[in-house]
């Protein structure tokens, strides 16, 4: 907490920029993850991996393959970070080159780290003990008292990781509002740029305020499932759009071309929908409510002011 507080203090004083602070937190986070993987491998008990896929309890989504599918859907919100990279395209120096490299590169590295952490963690502790808010801390404690020095390092890395994720997620949504406002789908205030920082400050303040309120009144599992199902729906729509645009607009310039169309986008859409179907029914009800609110905003304001609709 001291390090996070110090970085925040330096940010307020203007000694460090937000991008520099984010870089520091990412370095601390990745270093902590790698340290946990390397040290943790020495304490892995292979017996904890048996059974590798626990049998289903008889209820959909509780262990077994249905549990794997639901778990993949629940944690899918983690991938919104890669989606946020694309929303910052207007701020990239060479977006046609940097966006594909940044998204695919970070996705590959993060996927490998996710898998390695899961392997080490389930090897350190039985999966029955990991349904807690701090599973990494449980894994570190399982290494024994000789690894006491690792505990504060992992906790600092966890705090830095959570903080950097929050910054990235709060970066993406204001840029989406900005682009929508520039197209006329939202009021002009969402496209307002700060005269000094050159960022959409109104959208950023509004997004941060709403996120703060929702985080304070809703349980984290409800928020996670809601964000995940929304992200899965968006990804499924994008996958289908690739197939449609290849047929309807083959003349569009494509600096990065998705290979093996329509096989890859069709499989992507299918997997996203399958994970959505694995989520609880109340998550679907919340999605429908949010979509209804979005449709109201579109038909009451966006459609009338859309620059594309005006031709």
Q: What is the pLDDT of residues 50-71, one digit of tens each?
A: 988 999 888 888 889 888 988 8
Provide the domain limits for residue 166.
1-52+78-217
Please list the rounded mean pLDDT of every run of 10 residues in the chain (311 residues).
Answer: 47 49 75 91 92 88 88 79 68 75 83 91 91 85 86 81 72 84 91 84 87 84 85 92 93 84 94 91 91 92 85 65
Residues 283 and 229 in one domain: yes
Domain boundary at 189, 217, 245, which? 217
Compute, in degrees rounded to 10, the torsion defined by CA atoms 265, 268, 269, 270.
Answer: 120
Q: Is residue 73 in some structural domain?
A: no
Please calculate the CA angle 212-217-220 and round it to the nearest 5 degrees: 85
Residues 19 and 149 in one domain: yes
Give pLDDT, residue 9. Answer: 46
Give pLDDT, residue 199. Answer: 80
Q: How many domains does the chain have?
A: 2
DSSP count for the chain of H helices, then E strands:
13, 0
Give pLDDT, residue 309. Answer: 77
3-state helix, strand, coil in the chain (%, to 5): 75, 0, 25
Domain boundary at 217, 238, 264, which? 217
Residues 110 and 171 in one domain: yes
Give pLDDT, residue 20. Answer: 63
Give pLDDT, residue 268. Answer: 93
Give pLDDT, residue 1. Answer: 44
Q: What's the rounded Cα separation, in Å, for the pair 76 and 275?
A: 9
Q: How many Å from the N-terminal Cα to the C-terminal Cα in the chain? A: 53
Residues 184 and 91 in one domain: yes
Residues 188 and 225 in one domain: no
Residues 205 and 225 in one domain: no
Q: Is residue 226 in some structural domain?
A: yes
Q: What's the rounded Cα separation, in Å, for the pair 55 and 63?
A: 6
Q: What's the rounded Cα separation, in Å, for the pair 15 and 143?
A: 39
Give pLDDT, residue 243. Answer: 94
Residues 188 and 256 in one domain: no
Residues 186 and 278 in one domain: no
DSSP for residue 76: G
Give pLDDT, residue 102. Answer: 80
Residues 115 and 21 in one domain: yes
Residue 141: exposure state from Cβ atoms within 10 A (0-12, 13-18, ≥19): middle
Residues 177 and 83 in one domain: yes
Give pLDDT, residue 15. Answer: 44
Residues 175 and 227 in one domain: no
Please tell me the number of Cα atoms within 13 Å of 296 on its side-chain side.
Answer: 6
Q: Is residue 67 in some structural domain?
A: no
Q: What's the rounded Cα separation, in Å, for the pair 235 and 107?
A: 15
Residues 107 and 147 in one domain: yes
Give pLDDT, residue 289. Answer: 93
Domain boundary at 199, 217, 235, which? 217
pLDDT in tens, 146-169: 888 888 888 888 777 777 777 777
């Amino acid at each position: 907490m001291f390090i996070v507080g110090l970085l925040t203090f330096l940010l307020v004083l203007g000694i460090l920029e937000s991008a520099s602070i984010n870089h520091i937190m990412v370095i601390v986070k990745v270093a902590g993850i790698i340290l946990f993987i390397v040290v943790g491998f020495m304490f892995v008990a292979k017996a904890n991996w048996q059974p590798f896929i626990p049998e289903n309890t008889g209820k959909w989504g509780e262990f077994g393959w249905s549990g794997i599918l639901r778990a993949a859907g629940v944690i899918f919100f983690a991938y919104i970070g890669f989606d946020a990279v694309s929303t910052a395209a207007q701020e990239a120096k060479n977006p046609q080159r940097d966006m594909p490299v940044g998204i695919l590169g970070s996705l590959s590295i993060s996927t490998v780290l996710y898998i390695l952490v899961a392997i080490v963690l389930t090897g350190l502790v039985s999966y029955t003990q990991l349904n807690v808010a701090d599973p990494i801390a449980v894994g570190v404690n399982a290494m024994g008292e000789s690894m006491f020095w690792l505990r504060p390092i992992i906790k600092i890395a966890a705090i830095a990781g959570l903080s950097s994720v929050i910054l990235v997620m709060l970066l993406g949504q204001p840029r989406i509002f900005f682009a929508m406002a520039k197209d006329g789908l939202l009021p002009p205030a969402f496209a307002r740029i700060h005269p000094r920082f050159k960022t959409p400050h109104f959208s950023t303040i509004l997004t941060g305020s709403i996120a703060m309120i929702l985080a304070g009144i809703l349980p984290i599992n409800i928020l996670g499932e809601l964000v995940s199902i929304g992200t899965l729906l968006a990804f499924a729509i994008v996958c289908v759009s690739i197939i449609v645009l290849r047929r309807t607009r083959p003349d569009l310039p494509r600096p990065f071309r998705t290979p093996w169309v329509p096989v890859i986008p069709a499989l992507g859409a299918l997997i996203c929908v399958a994970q959505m179907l694995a989520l609880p029914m109340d998550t679907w009800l919340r999605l429908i409510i949010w979509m209804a609110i979005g449709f109201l905003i579109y038909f009451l304001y966006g459609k009338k002011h859309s620059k594309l609709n005006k031709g």
